[in-house]
Structure 1
């Protein structure tokens, strides 16, 4: 069973529907015990970094997710769920993240003509092959909605980049931990293939 963590900040049902559409069993849960018992875990998220971390701490769901990662089961972050994996975010001050990946989360730099948030379709540029991108072809396009992006502390953690206009990490991967800055559940066939690839991991 794939556990989708419900800490009050995420498009949970659309993630659940996308996972179910590829034939996997997915349960939205706010129960740490359910997360510990799941075979796979997804940490989604939409909204403010500080509020998300506060809820993850208050509910114990953050600890349960960290335990899931350290136990070796496949774990995936989506959008804000990617940013929460890093050490620190600069959104509205400086706030500690889960510390599972070294790096910082920063706002897109202001530039003439550059709209923030970054919203819409963008092409992934693969940095290295990872199972989540199997079967996607050379230049898959995915859907983004975000004002902040990660600056990874280890270049090898970045599996794919996108440009806005400079490169930023769009997909990170470290052993059994992976995350997308984009929304696979809004990325049509490409996103469904990613969820199918995630569900097939063991």
Structure 2
């Protein structure tokens, strides 16, 4: 039992500490503001010790897959991300920060190695209109923790030309997969133990994105 404060009230529950990894890519300040809205203490940093010790780690990412992987490798952040996941410590990938969690990504016919924490490859969307840009709905499984409380008609903001599309492989690996459809379905959210990822931008998705971030922060140890 916690000790009462001088005012006679119980001490407040400590705020969750979240690090947004700065490796040279991502909407860092937008992500910082969006996560802070949940009540978490948020730090944007390239300090790997802080990234390893935080209650939650956010891996953002925009642009090319290969460029994001180059930034991760230059910082030597891959082992820290992998060790967190292996230890059951939450990691959230956003947009290309989601994509680099997979085995590989193929852009313009060139395959780049990813972090290998999720099975499969990220490939070009099989759609008439590329990129997939704007607001879209998603279909979440009943066991989704990140989208618990979703009414079903909320829209999230996407901007991408590539995605994880081998949905069966993710499900076979035990992941909970939320899909969106742009001509054909693709993985919009993946939840696999301590590892979570969103192809859309929660920080740009208004209250629907806040719901996801709130649920993620609420689940931090």
TM over 0.5: yes
Q: Which blocks of at least 5 consecutive residues in structure 2 are unaligned?
A: 1-16
**Partner in structure 2 of residue 103 of structure 1:** 120
**Partner in structure 1 of residue 143 of structure 2:** 129
Find the aligned partners of 1:154 and 1:107 in 2 and give their Cα distance. 17
Find the aligned partners of 2:32 and 2:208 in 1 and give their Cα distance. 16
Please give the secondary structure, in 1, of the residue aligned with 2:25. Answer: coil
Find the aligned partners of 2:175 and 2:45 in 1 and give their Cα distance. 28
Which deviations, in whole Å up to 9, do the C-alpha atoms of 1:69-108 show, x marking residues without a partner? 1121111100001111100111130111000011110011
Find the aligned partners of 2:69 and 2:81 in 1 and give their Cα distance. 12
Q: Which blocks of at least 5 consecutive residues in structure 1 are unaligned?
A: none
Find the aligned partners of 1:48 and 1:14 in 2 and give their Cα distance. 19
**Partner in structure 2 of residue 5 of structure 1:** 21
**Following superposition, which runs of at least 4 residues in structure 1 exceed 4 angstroms of deviation?**
none
Task: Report the RMSD for the aligned CA atoms in angstroms.
Answer: 1.3
Please give the secondary structure, in 2, of the residue aligned with 1:27. Answer: strand
Find the aligned partners of 2:135 and 2:165 in 1 and give their Cα distance. 21
Find the aligned partners of 1:5 and 1:148 in 2 and give their Cα distance. 22
Please give the secondary structure, in 1, of the residue aligned with 2:135. Answer: strand
Find the aligned partners of 2:93 and 2:145 in 1 and give their Cα distance. 15
Which deviations, in whole Å up to 9, do the C-alpha atoms of 1:97-122 show, x marking residues without a partner? 0000111100113x5xx321100000
Structure 1 counterpart of 2:82, from 49, 62, 66 = 66
**Partner in structure 2 of residue 25 of structure 1:** 41
Question: Contact 2:165–2:185 at 8 Å: present in 1 too?
Answer: no
Give the paired residue count.
199
Shift of residue 193 of structure 1?
Answer: 1.3
Structure 2 counterpart of 1:165, from 170, 183, 197 = 183
Question: Contact 2:190–2:196 at 8 Å: present in 1 too?
Answer: yes
**Partner in structure 2 of residue 149 of structure 1:** 163
Structure 1 counterpart of 2:107, from 91, 101, 109 = 91
Find the aligned partners of 1:104 and 1:65 in 2 and give their Cα distance. 19
Question: Contact 1:128–1:160 at 8 Å: present in 2 too?
Answer: no
TM-score by length of 1: 0.94
Shift of residue 51 of structure 1?
Answer: 1.1
TM-score by length of 2: 0.86
Find the aligned partners of 2:152 and 2:165 in 1 and give their Cα distance. 24
Which deviations, in whole Å up to 9, do the C-alpha atoms of 1:29-78 show, x marking residues without a partner? 10111111101011110011111111111111222111111121111100
Question: Contact 2:96–2:199 at 8 Å: present in 1 too?
Answer: yes
Shift of residue 158 of structure 1?
Answer: 4.5
